[in-house]
Every structure is written in structure tokens, then in C-alpha cells.
Amino acid sequence: SQQGEEDPQALSIQEGENATMNCSYKTSINNLQWYRQNSGRGLVHLILIRSNEREKHSGRLRVTLDTSKKSSSLLITASRAADTASYFCATDANTGFQKLVFGTGTRLLVSP
Amino acid sequence: EPEVTQTPSHQVTQMGQEVILRCVPISNHLYFYWYRQILGQKVEFLVSFYNNEISEKSEIFDDQFSVERPDGSNFTLKIRSTKLEDSAMYFCASSGDRSGEQYFGPGTRLTVT
């Protein structure tokens, strides 16, 4: 399957620290997207990185993609309590279809 | 900033009843999707829709499910005869291009009793 798997499943840090979450997938992709989900709420799009890109930044977010290892990482720098949420990676298959396959997510807890 | 909206936010229905979940995608988007998330589980793809037809559907999307774009703004998901296991959060998403960002709505929590 194309499943993405995030690592770690849960991460607990203090405000101001950096948080790194990893995602692995199994098949070739067009792009990989990261989403945030607050408990019981909708999915907020964070960043999209294409298969021909290696790194992308957006504010305090830094995403890397290593297609040879079929993995991506999301770094949140200088974390805040408001960053507490679940973070998911989602890949779309390199088959011309648009469906996203989501990983299991990393639950991030940022304590004040 | 444009956003995807969904109604209702919460729907409670009895087993066997029909439900229609409604979505208004971002106005200039052409690709539309439904996903669902059973409590505590992964987000799962249901169906994608482009040019007034289904472009792909998952195994979950059986004959009980249908989608429609009845006018220029709405995109609906109908479940004809709900089952207990249909209880989940249903998310609509839209995208401006085939492999671009998918923007999700806030979801409809469906509870089947």
C-alpha cells in the first residue's frame, strides 16, 4: 500500500523547543502535503512539497523530502502552545489520480 | 481568504435513513473530494470528482454512496441507507489543479444510532 507512517506517534516538548516529525511512504509520489488537525476539528493545510523539491520553508515550518528514502520530515521551530495538534503527512500517487493517502499522524503537545 | 465550507457541522440520524452532506468548495477550484475519518483512525479517501463525474473512488464508496454537483457551487455526498459503521467525520476538500494543494472543510460529524 502507499500508506504514510509518521514517527513518532506522540511528541511532548516545551514552548520554544523545536519539534521534528517524520513521515515514510512506500510508492512513488507527485507530491507530499502536511496537515494539522486540532482535536475533533478540520484539517488545515500547512505545506506541499513536490517530488522534485528537497526542502521548503513556510514561516516556522521547514519540510524536507528524500525521495530515495521515501521519507519526509516536518520541523516546527520555536514551538508555541498553540502548535499543539496532530500532524499528518499525505501523499498523492504518481498515477494521475488525485486521492491523498494519509499517515497515522503525530500528536504534538507543546507545554507552556 | 477563500475556504471550503460544510453543512451541517453535526448530523445525527437513525440507521437506515438517508443523509446528505453538503459542501461548498473554493469557488475557482475544479477538483473535489470526500474523505472520512472514523474516530481515532486515519483519514480515508472516499471519492474524487472532476468535470461532473467521479474520477476515482475507494472500496468504501459502495452503492450506498453517491456524489453530486447540483449547481455551480455545491458538492454533496449522499448516503442512501446509513449503517452504524458510517459514523465518522466526513471532510470535503477541493483543489485548483490535479496535483495541487487540497483544502479541507471543517467536516461534518455524522452519528448513526
Determine, for residues A100 and B105 on separate chains, whether the beta-carbon distance falls below 8 Å. no
Chain B: residue nearest A103 by CA? Answer: B42
pLDDT beyond 50 at A14: yes
Determine, for residues B56 and A97 on separate chains, whether the beta-carbon distance falls below 8 Å. yes
Tell me which residue in B45, B106, B107 faces A99 most closely, judged by beta carbons.
B45
Q: What is the pLDDT of residue A96?
A: 62
Instruction: Give the span between the Cα atoms of B48 and B91, in whole angstroms.
Output: 12
- B85: closest CA of chain A, how far (Å): 18
Q: What is the pLDDT of residue A75?
A: 98
pLDDT beyond 70 at A72: yes
State pLDDT tens for residues B5-16. Answer: 999 999 999 999
Which residues of A are less than 8 Å from B56 in CB distance?
A: 97-99
Q: Mean pLDDT across the stretch A9-38?
A: 94
State pLDDT tens for residues B43-99. Answer: 999 999 998 999 999 999 999 999 999 887 899 999 999 999 999 999 999 999 888
Query: How many cross-chain Cβ pairs, A to B, lie less than 8 Å apart?
Result: 62
pLDDT beyond 60 at A1: no
Q: What is the pLDDT of residue A91?
A: 92
Q: Mean pLDDT across the stretch A44-49?
A: 95
State pLDDT tens for residues A75-110. Answer: 999 999 999 999 999 998 766 667 899 988 999 999
Looking at residue B17, the DSSP 8-state letter turns out to be -
Determine, for residues B99 and A41 on separate chains, whether the beta-carbon distance falls below 8 Å. no
- A42: closest CA of chain B, how far (Å): 4
- Average model confidence (pLDDT) across chain A: 91
Determine, for residues A99 and B107 on separate chains, whether the beta-carbon distance falls below 8 Å. no
Chain A: residue nearest B89 by CA? Answer: A40
C-alpha cell at position B26: 473554493
Which residues of B are less than 8 Å from A42 in CB distance?
A: 91, 104-107
DSSP string, B68-104: E--SSS-EEEEESS--GGG-EEEEEEEESSTTS--EE
Instruction: Give the span between the Cα atoms of B98 and B31, in whole angstroms.
Output: 7
Reference A35, options B66, B55, B102; nearest CA is: B102
Task: Judge whether A105 and A37 are in contact, CB under 8 Å.
Answer: yes
Three-state SS string over chain A comes to CCCCEEECCEEEEECCCCEEEEEECCCCEEEEEEEEECCCCCEEEEEEEECCCCEEEECCEEEEEECCCCEEEEEECCCCHHHCEEEEEEEEECCCCCCEEECCCEEEEEEC
CA angle B81, B84, B89 (to 5 degrees): 95
Instruction: Give the span between the Cα atoms of B72 and B52, in whole angstroms.
Output: 10
Task: Judge whether A22 and A103 are in contact, CB under 8 Å.
Answer: no
List of residues 6+ apart from A104 with CB closer than 8 A: A4, A5, A6, A9, A88, B42
